[in-house]
C-alpha cells in the first residue's frame, strides 16, 4: 500500500491500472471500512469498465493516520470539502467517477454537489437520519461488545476499538440527529446511480426516494431484493453489471486529456 502525507496526516491508498483516456473510479468506503474491506470489488469494476481506479482509507481507518476524535458532527462534510479535494488534487485526479458506500456515498454526494465529477455511484447512501439507522448502529454496537464485530474489524484496522467508537458515538449522538444533506442535492448535476438493498440494516428506501426528488441532474435507481447494506459484497456481479450499464449509458464524454490515476 502506498502512503501520501496530507495536511491532516498520512493516508494509505492503492492505484489500479486502466485506460489513461478514461476518468478514474474513486472508491469511498463505509463508516467502518478501509481499502482492504472493499475486497476484490474495485479491481473487478476497474477491469469491467477499463478505467483506472483509486482506493483509499480515510484518516482513522485501515493503515492511515489517526483521525480527530471524538468526530465532529460535520465530519462527513469535512471529508468531502477538505480531505478528498486535497487528496485528488495531490494525485492529479480530475472529474472522477465517485463510487461511495454508506458514509462514503454521503461524502461522494457532498463532493459532487460542489466540485465537478463525471458521475457518482451511491451504494446504500445516507441523506438523513432514520430510526432504522440508529437501530442498526445499536445492533452493531452489541455485536462489537460481544466480540464478533471487534474480531472482524481487527483484521483490517490498526485501532478497531477507536474505529468503531468514533463512528458509532457520533451517529448516536443527540447532536447528530438533525444531520441532513438534502439541501446539497440540487447542486449535483452530473449523472448519479443509486443502489440499495431492500433489507438494508441501516436505512430504508426512503433514502433513494429523497435523492431521486432532490438531485439536480439525472439519476438511475437499482433495488436489490433480499440484499442488505453492502450490495457490492452481497451481490457483487449484479452491482458491477448495474454500474457498467450506468456508465455506458450516462457518461458519454468523460475522456481524460492526461493520465489521471
DSSP 4-66: EEETTEEEEEEEE---TTBPPEEEE--TT--TGGGTTHHHHHHHHHT--EEEEPPTTSTTSPP
Q: What are 73-112's pLDDT values in tens digits?
A: 999 999 999 999 999 999 999 999 999 999 999 999 999 9
The tens digit of pLDDT for each residue in 182-199 reads 999 999 999 999 999 999
Which residue do the cell numbers 491508498 mark? 13
Residue 12's contacts (CB-CB under 8 Å, 6 or more residues apart) are 1, 2, 3, 34, 35, 56, 57, 62, 63, 64
Question: Does the global pTM surpass 0.85?
Answer: yes
Helix/strand number for the chain, H first, E second: 10, 8
Bond preceding residue 70 cis, omega within 30 of 0: yes
CA angle 31, 176, 200 (to 5 degrees): 45
Q: Specify the pLDDT at position 160.
A: 94
- The pLDDT value given to residue 253: 55
Which of the four pLDDT bands, split at 50, 70 and 90, describes residue 251?
confident
Segments of the chain assigned E as strands? 2-6, 9-16, 25-28, 53-56, 97-101, 119-123, 192-197, 219-224
Are 143 and 32 in contact by the 8 Å Cβ rule? The answer is: no
Is it the case that residue 258 has pLDDT exceeding 90? no
pLDDT in tens, 49-77: 999 999 999 999 999 999 989 999 999 99
Report the alpha-carbon distance of residue 150 to residue 143 in Å, rounded. 8
Amino acid at each position: 500500500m502506498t502512503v501520501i502525507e496530507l495536511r491532516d496526516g498520512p493516508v494509505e491508498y492503492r492505484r489500479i491500472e486502466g485506460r489513461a483516456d478514461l476518468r478514474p473510479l474513486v472508491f469511498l468506503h463505509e463508516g467502518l471500512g478501509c481499502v482492504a474491506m472493499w475486497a476484490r470489488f474495485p479491481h473487478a469494476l476497474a477491469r469491467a469498465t477499463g478505467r483506472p481506479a483509486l482506493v483509499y482509507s480515510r484518516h482513522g481507518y485501515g493503515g492511515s493516520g489517526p483521525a480527530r476524535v471524538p468526530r465532529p458532527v460535520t465530519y462527513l462534510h469535512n471529508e468531502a470539502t477538505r480531505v478528498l479535494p486535497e487528496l485528488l488534487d495531490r494525485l492529479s485526479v480530475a472529474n472522477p467517477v465517485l463510487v461511495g458506500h454508506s458514509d462514503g456515498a454521503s461524502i461522494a454526494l457532498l463532493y459532487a454537489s460542489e466540485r465537478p465529477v463525471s458521475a457518482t455511484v451511491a451504494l446504500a447512501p445516507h441523506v438523513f437520519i432514520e430510526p432504522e439507522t440508529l437501530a442498526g448502529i445499536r445492533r452493531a454496537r452489541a455485536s462489537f461488545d460481544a466480540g464478533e464485530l471487534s474480531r472482524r474489524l481487527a483484521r483490517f484496522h490498526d485501532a478497531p476499538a477507536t474505529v468503531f467508537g468514533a463512528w458509532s458515538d457520533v451517529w448516536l449522538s443527540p447532536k447528530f440527529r438533525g444531520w441532513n444533506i438534502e439541501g446539497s442535492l440540487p447542486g449535483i448535476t452530473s449523472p448519479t446511480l443509486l443502489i440499495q438493498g431492500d433489507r438494508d440494516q441501516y436505512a430504508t428506501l426512503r433514502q433513494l426516494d429523497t435523492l431521486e426528488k432532490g438531485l439536480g441532474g439525472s439519476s438511475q435507481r437499482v433495488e436489490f431484493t433480499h440484499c442488505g447494506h453492502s450490495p457490492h459484497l452481497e451481490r457483487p456481479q449484479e452491482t458491477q453489471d448495474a454500474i457498467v450499464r450506468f456508465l455506458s449509458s450516462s457518461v458519454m464524454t468523460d475522456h481524460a486529456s492526461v493520465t489521471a490515476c
